[in-house]
Amino acid sequence: MVFERWRGFVQAWRDYPLPEGSRIGEWYTIESLLGEGSYGLTYRCFDSRDGALLAVKQSRPSKKAVGRSMLAKERDILQAMNHPHIPKCRGYFEQRGTNWLVTDYIEGKTLEDLIFDEHMVYGERECLATTLRLMELVAHVHSRGYVHLDLRIPNVILQNNEEVYLIDFGLARRIGEADTVLERRSPKVEEIPKRKPPVIASDLYDIGQFMLFMLYSGYRPEPGGRERSWREELDLSPGMLRIVSRLLGEQEAYPDTAVFVREAEALHESLQSY
């Protein structure tokens, strides 16, 4: 018990974020801490050479080799991407015993912030429009042989409520790949990331959840009312019910992303007309 508390204290101390103004690598100055994930800390930095804003992710020092190898993997995957709405890898280096991944900083707000902080409400039409834009990025990831495996509202950034960007490739993997991140050592159970199977169906399932989050943005529970299933709580059109059910595997699953996109486009068009 005492040992556990001591270990927790040491981990927190090791992972304590660096202050604003700290210099990282040769050129990057920390402007602010953007957030702390399970395996990394991400800072907004500027490049002293041209003033460009960058997102610089540090592997969590307490996660040691697992954190470093996950960040190296994220770098490899970002380098395999080439899409204007996916941040590019701008650098990678080791310093202070941890690794650092430098990528484009994407201006805008995550869908999570828009829904929970700004109380934006998305109807079926807006949900489909955003999801279809996101699917262009997901299709790019798949065409490069990878699955994202973390398609959630905090990982989708909207610029001017219009342009859609996809970030956080920390859990992405090559389609069908065996788990190689941990092959060189035997990590403790709590160090092993819980990951979904590296198949396209995993991303489609996440898209179903993603759409539900958007559609729930307008839901106001009745005070004291019992909790019901999403089908009962949300007043969705038959077309939307079918799409979400298929994505979540509650009805005949989509054989591939193209069939889903076609159905979503058809529903989106039909909703445009009234």
Helix, coil or strand: residue 215 = helix
Question: Should residue 40 be labelled a site residue for ligand ATP when binding is judged by CB under 6 A?
Answer: yes
CB of 104 or CB of 124, closer to ligand ATP: 104
Please report, as a single letter, which amino acid is at residue 218. Answer: G
Question: Should residue 168 be labelled a site residue for ligand ATP when binding is judged by CB under 6 A?
Answer: yes
Question: Should residue 57 be labelled a site residue for ligand ATP when binding is judged by CB under 6 A?
Answer: yes
DSSP 227: P
Question: Should residue 106 be labelled a site residue for ligand ATP when binding is judged by CB under 6 A?
Answer: yes
SS (H, E, C) 146-212: EECCCCCHHHEEEECCCEEEECCCCCCEECCCCCCCCCCCCCCHHHCCCCCCCCHHHHHHHHHHHHH
- List the beta bridge partners of residue 42: 35, 57
CB of 104 or CB of 203, closer to ligand ATP: 104
The residue with tokens 């610089």 is 56
Question: Should residue 154 be labelled a site residue for ligand ATP when binding is judged by CB under 6 A?
Answer: yes
Structure-token pair, residue 152:
């959630």
Among 58, 69, 99, 110, binds ligand ATP (CB under 6 A): 110
Among 24, 42, 60, 131, binds ligand ATP (CB under 6 A): 42
The residue with tokens 């398609």 is 151
Which parts of 61-90 interact with ligand ATP (CB under 6 A)? 87
Structure-token pair, residue 120:
């934006």
Sign of the Cα torsion 114, 116, 119, 120 reads: positive
Q: Nearest approach, Cβ of 140 to ligand ATP (angstroms)? A: 16
Residues in the chain: 274
Q: Nearest approach, Cβ of 88 to ligand ATP (angstroms)? A: 9
CB of 14 or CB of 242, closer to ligand ATP: 14
* Residue 88 annotated in ligand binding: no
Which residues are near ligand ATP by CB under 6 A? Answer: 34-35, 37-38, 40, 42, 55, 57, 87, 103-106, 110, 154, 167-168, 170
